[in-house]
Amino acid sequence: MRKTPNSPLRDWSLFGLAVFLFFNLASAADQKITFNKGDRVVLVGGTLASRAQYSGYLEKRIQSAYPDLGLSFRNMGWSADKVDLMPRPLNFGMLEEHLTDKKADVIFLFFGSNEAFQGDAGIEKFISDYHALIERITPQTSRIVLVSPAAHEKLKAPWPDPSKRNLVLEKYTDAIRRLAEEQEMPFIDLFHPTRTLMAENYSDPLTINGVHFTDPGYKIVADIMAAEMNWPAPKSATSENIRTLIIEKNRQFQLRWRPVNGEYVFGRRNKPFGIVTYPPEMEQLDKQIDALDKEIQQAAGAPK
């Protein structure tokens, strides 16, 4: 990814996003999620959600729009997750348990990309499984946003032509839209704007492989989500320091939530030493994460 001051990605993102907003203003006006003071926002889904932790743009965009609310974020995305299949280590716990433990108030669900590999024949089952997932997590909160998969970007050879893949992704996006309408939940369409913008920016791709976004690509994703949800413009200029803090907080949270040595923390080898050693270490990580939350809020402009 080129990072020159006059990168076409910068100019293209502003122009393309403006065009997208112009033609979708009516639908975007109906899309709204209400954030309340002290809310915990949680991201759940596959790789699109999981990799967002490494760039920090989505959290930065929301924090800078609502600096007075003291929001905090937890990324619980897990690569390869599907609405009906979330393999976890022994004794890791179910999704519902972690949402309760993390006190989730607003949940963004990023699903549909992995499920779309089942083609047209898999849409009915996907929606049925999505229904079941929503029923499982609504006892925690009813403030749930359904996010569509992004488009598959066409890159130069030897990368394959994603035309057929995008036809299927579009059908899954439409199915998620209908589900959101039925459930009366906000819906974010990432597929159509990313497909359009990817085609207009062929020489400066948003992804590293057609699927996984670059850091600047995630900034575009954050801008699209902000536009569709009508989030306010940032109330004050925020320095790049906030992203550094967000990325470090995300790293600390992953150490806490998904420890590499989970077999010794909560698995079959947690006795005799794990049950003694790890609880104090996890408590210390919790304190560090909470402290980073406060630094992020202040960097976003929260009152001290």
DSSP 223-248: HHHHHHHTPPPPSS---THHHHHHHH
pLDDT in tens, 25-62: 444 445 589 999 999 999 999 999 999 999 999 999 99
Sequence-distant (≥ 6) Cβ neighbours of residue 41 within 8 angstroms: 35, 59, 62, 71, 72, 73, 74, 104, 105, 106, 107, 108
User: Nearest to residue 122, comparing CAs of 84, 95, 150?
Assistant: 84
- Give SS3 for 4: coil
Q: Name which residue leads in pLDDT, 274 or 290.
A: 290
pLDDT of residue 253: 98
CA distance linking residue 131 with residue 221, whole number of Å: 25
Sequence-distant (≥ 6) Cβ neighbours of residue 283 within 8 angstroms: none
User: Nearest to residue 204, comparing CAs of 13, 16, 1?
Assistant: 1
What is the pLDDT averaged over residues 194-214? 90
Q: Is the pLDDT of residue 163 over 50?
A: yes
CA distance linking residue 140 with residue 77, whole number of Å: 17
pLDDT in tens, 242-265: 999 999 999 999 999 999 889 999
What is the pLDDT averaged over residues 103-130? 98
Residues β-bridged to residue 43: 75, 108
Residue 220 binned pLDDT confidence (cut-offs 50, 70, 90) = very high
CB neighbour burial string for 76-97, b if at least 16 within 10 angstroms, e if fewer: bbbeebbbeeeeeeeebeebee
pLDDT of residue 32: 82
CB-count burial class (<10 Å; 0-12, 13-18, 19+) for 8? middle
Residue written as tokens 């497909």?
195
Domains of the chain: 8-238 (3.40.50.1110)
Assess contact for 240 and 41: CB atoms under 8 A: no
pTM: 0.90
pLDDT of residue 58: 97
CA distance linking residue 267 with residue 157, whole number of Å: 45
Q: What is the dihedral of CA 112, 41, 209, 124, to 10 degrees?
A: 0
Q: Where are the alpha helices (DSSP H) in 35-122?
A: 47-50, 57-65, 95-101
CA distance linking residue 260 with residue 8, whole number of Å: 39
User: Between the CA of residue 211 and those of 46, 57, 116, 153, 206, what are the distances in Å?
Assistant: 12, 18, 13, 7, 9
pLDDT of residue 20: 53
